[in-house]
Amino acid sequence: MDHGESSHNGALKAILTLGHHTIELPLICGSEGEVALDIRRLRAETKGLQLNGKGIQGGLITFDPGYKNTASCQSDITFIDGEHGILRYRGYDIAELAAKKVRFIETALLLIYGELPTPAERENFRELLTQYEMLHEGMMNFFYSLPPNADPMAILAAAVQCSSLYNPELRAIDPADEDSFRAAAAKLLSRVRTIAAFSYRKAMGLPFEYPDPSLDYCSNFLHMMFSIPYRRFYATETMIRALNLFLILHADHEQNCSTATVRMVGSSRANLFDSISAGISALSGPLHGGANVQVLRMLERIERGEETIDGLINSVKIKEPGKPRRRLPGFGHRIYRNYDPRAKILKEAVDNLLEELQINDPLLDIARELEEKVRHDDFFQKANLYPNIDFYSGILLRAINIPVNMFTLMFAIGRVAGWIAQWREEALNPEAAIQRPRQVYIGKTCRGLCLP
């Protein structure tokens, strides 16, 4: 295939040669230099073409399992340059948002609406968050019916859907209707925090602590997590800052597995709540958001002497035929071939946080040693495997007393911001079609049924 040629109207195109046929494929250029081959007309233009004496059945399709080379949409929300370790929300570098201590809710509004809110917009949205922070009392039956130690991610996915049943009007919002969309976004952002805290209380057998309207987003969450009837919990500035940073860093990451899920489910015109519930399920997997739990478990096993760092590093190098390679949780990323910028920020934040709180966490020493050894290891160097966001995030969460089984759920609270933005972008795109990949069938060809 040739590429980079200009067609008669000056637009860039690629030329695909198929036997004696040539097909022009336009190129789409992103604002940061990404170039994509636009194959939208490929099937139609190749239908019936003769290749090796045979007509192409239905037209030519592309094959890209895992979408390693395929863009599913055009988006102006988040930009990642995986080669150079760059992440920007709506053009703002993640390091700058973190350093300037932008608040999580401001970041959420930036992602959803494209600009940081004015003070008036921020106040207005804050009021909505307060107004919607309570769950319908009927939801208590949902929580009471759960078994103890139920998986918090499964609770969250179910509760997000379940809570929306009490507001049928929100399940039918028109994404173009500003007021109802804002109400739905505020309800989700606000309630996901209440549901998360209630899941913890349920798992611990503690009475539910209702939200306090006088508190900001992060303090309110920590209050619902840790206040008990006879002792009110007051979060320190350090804890609030750490949680805020954690949520900002997790707020969006373009078309990852869970976000692509939210957009895919939304592409069938499923409502915001159901689409995000599906995203939560996608996030729970150990290769995605669930990796932060796996990292902590791995560090704990090393601490207990059940595994050694060297043994662990060596174990991932062995690849048994026909079996997937063992993976070191917290390392590697589909997009980053360099240090994940979020991991870099988190690593520094964790150092400062532990010093400020005067915590000596042996898991941090193990993590540092593991990272150092991996950094100098040939296998990891050649495969460009660096720590990702999940490698240090658990140590930060531990320092503010978040239990390990809540880690992925904490990720979800942050990511709800990005999911809302991405769902809306998909819903408002007049060119968006229901997402429906194709397949290359390799099963049996037509055969008759021979019953005795």
Query: Which residues of this protein are in contact with ligand ACO, per CB under 6 A?
Result: 66, 256, 287-289, 291, 316, 319, 325, 327-334, 383, 385, 388-390
Both tokens assigned to 109: 């509004």
Give the nearer residue to ligand ACO in terms of CB position, either 84 or 232: 84
Task: Report in angstroms how near the CB of residue 327 gets to ligand ACO at its nearest.
Answer: 4
CB of 410 to ligand ACO, least distance (A): 12
Distance CA 165, CA 38 (A): 40
In DSSP terms, 36 is beta-bridged to 28
Annotated catalytic residue 84: no
Cβ-based nearer residue to ligand ACO, 23 or 98: 98
Q: Choose between 242 and 328: whose C-beta lies nearer to ligand ACO.
A: 328
Task: Give the DSSP per-residue string, 327-395.
Answer: --TTB--SS-SS--HHHHHHHHHHHHHHHHTT---HHHHHHHHHHHHHHT-HHHHHTT--B-HHHHHHH
How many helices (H) and strands (E) are present in the chain, helices listed first? 18, 9
Q: What are phi and psi of 86, to 5 degrees?
A: -115, 140
> How many CA within 13 A on the CB side of residue 34?
17
Q: Give me the catalytic one of 223, 250, 333, 340.
A: 333
Closer of 137 and 378 to ligand ACO (Cβ)? 378
Helices (H), 237-340: 237-249, 257-266, 272-283, 291-303, 309-315
Angle at 360 between CA 149 and CA 103, to 5 degrees: 70
Q: How far is the CB of 315 from ligand ACO (least distance, A)?
A: 9
267 and 434 Cβ atoms separated by less than 8 Å: yes
| Closest approach of ligand ACO to the CB of residue 86, in Å | 16
Instruction: Select 248 or 328, whichever has its Cβ closest to ligand ACO.
Output: 328
Distance of closest approach, residue 264 Cβ to ligand ACO, in angstroms:
17
Contact 215, 228 (CB under 8 A): no
Residue nearest to ligand ACO (CB): 332
Please say whether the beta carbons of 191 and 133 come within 8 A.
Answer: yes
The residue (of 132 and 331) whose beta carbon lies closer to ligand ACO is: 331
* Beta strand pairing call for 35-37 and 50-51: unpaired
Residue closer to ligand ACO, measured from CB, 139 or 416:
416
Write b or e for each residue in 114-123: b if 16 or more Cβ atoms lie within 10 A of its Cβ, otherwise e.
eebbeeeeee
Rounded least distance, CB 389 to ligand ACO, Å: 5
SS3 content of the chain, % helix, strand, coil (to 5): 50, 10, 40
> Smallest gap, in angstroms, from Cβ of residue 329 to ligand ACO?
5
Beta bridge mates, 18? 21
- Give me the residues paired with residue 14 across strands: 25
Burial status of residue 171 (CB atoms within 10 A of its CB: 0-12, 13-18, 19 or more) = middle
Residue number, 328 or 397, with CB nearest to ligand ACO: 328
Verify whether residue 333 is a known catalytic residue. Answer: yes
CB 380 to ligand ACO: min, Å: 7
- For 79, 82, 192, the CA distances from 342, given in Å and listed in that order, are 13, 12, 23
Query: Whole-angstrom Cα distance, residue 45 to residue 23?
Result: 8
Q: In terms of Cα–Cα distance, which of 83, 133, 73, 125 is closest to 104?
A: 125
Annotated catalytic sites, by residue? 333, 390
